Amino acid sequence: MPAIGSTVDLTKGTYTNTIGAVELKTVWTDPDFDPALDAFYYVRVLEIPTPRWSSMQAVQLGRVPPSGTGFTAVIQERAWSSPIWYTPSAEARKASKPGLTVAELSKQGAQLLGDAQLKELLVGKTVKVRNSVTGQRFEILHGATGRRLITSVDGKAADLHEVGEMMHGGDRDYEIRDGRLRTDINGSEFDVAVYQLGDKYLAARSNEFGYANYEVEPVKE
């Protein structure tokens, strides 16, 4: 989204309503909408920048607006709409393919990898990871020094500022301990458990409600 312009004049403590719109209305269609899946939407609205009341009062008194760490002379308010929840009908749910759970993996005889097996699979190597929910594919290098890096997304070189909500995140620390790959995204820590089912590897994040949403494949050297 392009940056919102500013009409603020701090020398006068004023702004004008010459940009933006007083009333916002549009029709938006979710390009990835799946009627068989639960969905949640909300709208965030940004106000154009305006001077703080203290900035306006400073101009009236002939003084310099207050300043300091974490304080700005200009503010930009924002608001969120009421949430919109979509719940599939019973018929739509029946038509969807159920996700694979850790419990189902265990029933099929999948084996949870231990520390030694995880290190053999990951450390110093690159693996391909496919998100079975979104279809996105990543290649991830786990360095021998405890750093890991996403090297590609959907076959293209990864932009490390945009890799966000993936199995791992961008360039981060990782640790293998107690049968888990431990890492974080934006300060939120989580564990990854890897299971072997036949000749396939499947992974589950600790914050994805018991679903094994990732397929892991070693890159052949």
Residue 176 has pLDDT above 90, yes or no: yes
Domain locations in the chain as residue ranges = 1-97, 102-218
Residue 27, pLDDT score = 87
Residue 33, pLDDT score = 87
SS3 for the chain, per residue? CCCCCCCCECCCCECCCCCCCCCCCCCCCCCCCCCCCCEEECCEEECCCEECHHHHHHHHHCCCCCCECCECCEECCEEECCCEEECCCHHHHHHCCCCCEHHHHHHCCCEECCHHHHHHHHCCEEEEEEECCCCCEEEEEECCCCEEEEEEECCEECCCCCCCCCCCCCCEECEEECCEEEEEECCEEEEEEEEEECCEEEEEECCCCCECCEEEEECCC
Percent of the chain scored above 90 by pLDDT? 41
Summarize pLDDT for 110-145 with one digit per residue, the tens. 999 999 999 999 999 999 999 998 889 999 999 999
Summarize pLDDT for 17-35 with one digit per residue, the tens. 888 887 877 888 998 888 8
CA distances from 105 to 6, 42, 109, 160, 171 (A): 55, 35, 6, 32, 30
Arithmetic mean of pLDDT, 155-173: 57
Higher pLDDT among residues 103 and 173, named by residue: 103
Arithmetic mean of pLDDT, 55-84: 85
Statement: the pTM of the whole predicted model exceeds 0.85 = no
Residue 165, pLDDT score = 41
Burial 163-173 (b: 16+ CB within 10 A, else e): beebbbbbebe
Residue 168 has pLDDT above 50, yes or no: no
**How far apart are alpha carbons 26 and 176 in whole angstroms?**
48
Of 49-58, 77-86, 204-213, the range with the lowest mean pLDDT is 77-86
Local confidence band at 173 (pLDDT 50, 70, 90 cut-offs): confident
Arithmetic mean of pLDDT, 209-214: 94
How far is it between the farthest Cα atoms of the chain? 77
Summarize pLDDT for 84-106 with one digit per residue, the tens. 999 989 888 888 778 899 999 99
